[in-house]
A = this chain, B = another copy of it.
Amino acid sequence: MNALDSLIEALKRLPGVGQKSAQRMAYHLLQHDRPAVHRLADALTAAVERIHHCERCHTFSETSLCSVCADATRDARLLCVVETPADQAALERTGSYRGYYFVLLGRLSPLDGVSTRQIGAAELLQRAAESGVEEVILATSFTAEGEATAHVLAEALRARGVRSTRLARGVPVGSELEFVDLGTIAHALSDRR
C-alpha cells in the first residue's frame, strides 16, 4: 500500500470517520497543512506514551494519581461512578460536584464480553468501603446497558451496607414538554419534587 492509502486507512480508524472523510482529511493535511501532520503525529505518540490510568479512580492521568484524586480538599463523603473519562469531564465542567470519582471505563455488556471484572467492580466496592464514603452516586448512562450496570452495582453496594443514589431523570433544561419523549416525562412526573 502506498503512503497516501496507508494514511487514509489509519484515519478511518477514528470514530465517525469513513472513507470520504478520511480522504478529505488526508488531502487537506498534505495540501494545506503539513505542519499539522507533524504536530498530530507527535501528539498521538506523546498521548499514548504519557497517558495512563489513575490508580485510584481509573480515569486518564499522566501521573499515578489524577488531579482530582490528589486533591485532598474535595468531599470524601461522595463517590461518583461514571462510565468514561468524558462523562467525568462533563460532570467536572458543571462545577456543581465536589466529591471524588470512580471511572468504570465501560459498562456491563455480557454480549460484548464486558463483565463486572472489566469495569473494575471489585476495585469500586473496595473504594466504596473506605472510611468516609457515605454515598455512591451511580451516574452511568440512562441506556439499557447503563441502567443494568447501575442496578448490579447498586445491589452489590447495598449488600455491603453502602448507600447509593442515581442521577435524577427528567425533562432537560431548555426543552419544551411537547417534544420530550414520553418515558422521560413519565420519569419526571414520578420523580417530581
Contacts and interface: CB of A to CB of B under 8 A. Distances in A.
A143 B28 CA distance: 19
Given A11-B43, A34-B48, A38-B45, 17 more contacts: A3-B46, A3-B50, A3-B62, A4-B62, A7-B44, A10-B44, A14-B40, A15-B24, A15-B28, A16-B24, A23-B89, A26-B47, A27-B84, A31-B85, A37-B45, A38-B48, A40-B41
Interface residues of A, number: 46
Contacts of A21: 16
B39 A10 contact: yes
Contacts of A42: 10, 41
Given A21-B16, A84-B27, A36 B10 contact: yes
A55 interface: no
Given A15-B24, A31-B105, A105-B31, A43 B10 contact: yes
